[in-house]
A = this chain, B = another copy of it.
Amino acid sequence: MTQEQLTLDENLNKVGEGKKVEMSGEHSSQIKKIISAVKERNIQNIFFVACGGSMASLSFGEYFISKETNVPSYVFTSNEFIHRNPKGLNENSLVVVRSHSGNTPETVEAASFARGKGALTVAISLLVDSPLCKEAEYTMHYNYKDDSNAIDCEVGMFYTFIFELLQVLSPNEKYSRVLNQLSNLDELLAKNIKLFSIAGDEFGKKYKRENIIYTMASGAYIHHAYSFTSCLLMEMLWIHSNAIHSGEFFHGPFEITDYDVPFLVILGDGPSRPLDQRALDFVRKFSDKVEVVDIETLNYEGIDEDLKEYFGPALTGAVLRVYADGLAEHTGHPLSVRRYMWKMEY
């Protein structure tokens, strides 16, 4: 039997094979239900809808689906989705919504809006009894900060879902191997956090006085740059920023480069790495403040060479967090501090 012929059940059960790392029965059952529902419908397009960091996280789904299948897929910030009211949204749409708390009002409304259009709705959230999960037809909730294995947490569950979905949309033996090798995720996240801990601390020490730090990336990694810019630098650290696509850099933004303008460049491991390299070469020439996170230097133990481009994005969020921790440490500004969020009505 080839990998391609494995059924969904077998794939889910294979997670962690030989390493005794398996997704919890409750979690894998949720994903199975969603995938069954997808198979029962004639899904013609996919909308990933959320806000901020949740939107960025969903964007990896759109990236791989547009790259590997011909099913149209789109990313929308929740309110834009509702107001745009895309004509392609109908009973043949799959709409994936996401909010950690499950309370984000715009995303709850987007779920309700999509369901009203007859779309198949899937909510991803920490809490299964959150308003978002109540609004959606199917739910996927994950564990968080409770010592669970990563396969039962945000990244593990989302990647399992996306690669099960890819397997339905455009079957490929590679996706079975990804699903299988996700059992390494927990260990790899821990190893990579450790691997980048000194660099993250040095980054914090060097950049603690900066009031602006640009991020730059391409391919799947532009979504990590967006999260780092919006949620870590701007929201949590009050540092000005802009996530620049390295392919767009030379078409405007690069004119702000100067010896004292800081850039954090993610040198991706996907097909658009040459774009990042070109932008990196330029900023290294004209700025004294360039930090690079080279995704090729990550620890990928247990991951097949041809699957690294799928695992890189799954590991990078945790690596970048280390750089934010470095800034928090050296600026004395904890990542938990807010001045508006959760403190007032807006």
Residues of A that sit less than 8 Å from B by CB: 45, 51-55, 63, 66-72, 74, 77-80, 83-88, 90, 104, 106, 170, 212, 218-219, 229-231, 234-236, 238-243, 245, 247-248, 250-257, 270-272, 274-275, 278, 282, 286, 338-341, 346
Beyond A252-B52, A252-B234, whether A247 also contacts B340 by CB under 8 A is: no
Bound-state CA distance A346–B248 (Å) is 13
Residues of B within 8 A of A274 (CB): 83
A162 to chain B minimum Cβ distance, whole angstroms, is: 15
Bound-state CA distance A239–B79 (Å) is 29
In the complex, the answer to whether B72 meets A88 with C-beta atoms within 8 Å is yes
In the complex, the answer to whether A272 meets B69 with C-beta atoms within 8 Å is no
A237 to chain B minimum Cβ distance, whole angstroms, is: 9
A279 to chain B minimum Cβ distance, whole angstroms, is: 9
Bound-state CA distance A85–B66 (Å) is 9
Residue of B nearest to A89 (CB): B70
In the complex, the answer to whether A247 meets B338 with C-beta atoms within 8 Å is no
Contacts A80-B247, A80-B275 known; 19 new A-B pairs at CB < 8 A: A51-B247, A53-B252, A55-B251, A67-B85, A79-B247, A79-B272, A80-B245, A83-B219, A83-B270, A83-B271, A83-B272, A230-B248, A230-B251, A234-B252, A235-B255, A240-B256, A242-B242, A278-B346, A282-B340
Q: 10 tightest A-B contacts by CB? A: A52-B251, A230-B252, A242-B242, A72-B72, A79-B247, A235-B252, A83-B272, A51-B251, A83-B271, A70-B88
Bound-state CA distance A234–B66 (Å) is 31
A52 to chain B minimum Cβ distance, whole angstroms, is: 3
A51 touches which of B80, B219, B235, B248 (Cβ 8 Å): B248
In the complex, the answer to whether B87 meets A68 with C-beta atoms within 8 Å is yes
Bound-state CA distance A66–B134 (Å) is 28
Bound-state CA distance A104–B242 (Å) is 24
In the complex, the answer to whether A346 meets B255 with C-beta atoms within 8 Å is no
Beyond A67-B85, A240-B240, whether A257 also contacts B340 by CB under 8 A is: yes
Bound-state CA distance A52–B248 (Å) is 6
